[in-house]
Amino acid sequence: MVAIIATVFGALAALLHVYIFLMESVRWSQPRVWKRFGVANQAAAETTKPMAYNQGFYNLFLAVGAVIGIVLFWSGGPETVADVAGRTLVLFSLGSMVAAALVLVTTGARYIRAALIQGTLPLIGFVLFVFA
Model confidence pLDDT, tens digit, residues 103-124: 999 999 999 999 999 999 999 9
How far, in Å, are 46, 47, 59, 130 from residue 39 at the CA level?
Answer: 10, 10, 19, 37
pTM above 0.85? yes
First to last CA, the chain: 8
pLDDT digits (tens, 9 = 90+) for 58-73: 999 999 999 999 999 9
39: containing domain: 2-131
Q: How many domains does the chain have?
A: 1
Confidence of residue 1 (pLDDT cuts 50, 70, 90): very high
Greatest Cα pair distance, the chain, in angstroms, is: 53
- Determine the angle formed by the axes of helices 81-105 and 2-21, rounding to 10 degrees: 50
The arithmetic mean of pLDDT across residues 61-87, rounded, is: 96
Confidence of residue 76 (pLDDT cuts 50, 70, 90): confident
- Round the average pLDDT of the chain to a whole number and report it: 96
Q: How many CA atoms lie within 13 A of 4 on its CB side?
A: 1
Residue type for 99, please?
A: A
pLDDT reported for residue 122: 98
Pair 121, 98: CB distance under 8 Å: no
Pair 39, 67: CB distance under 8 Å: no
Pair 128, 9: CB distance under 8 Å: yes
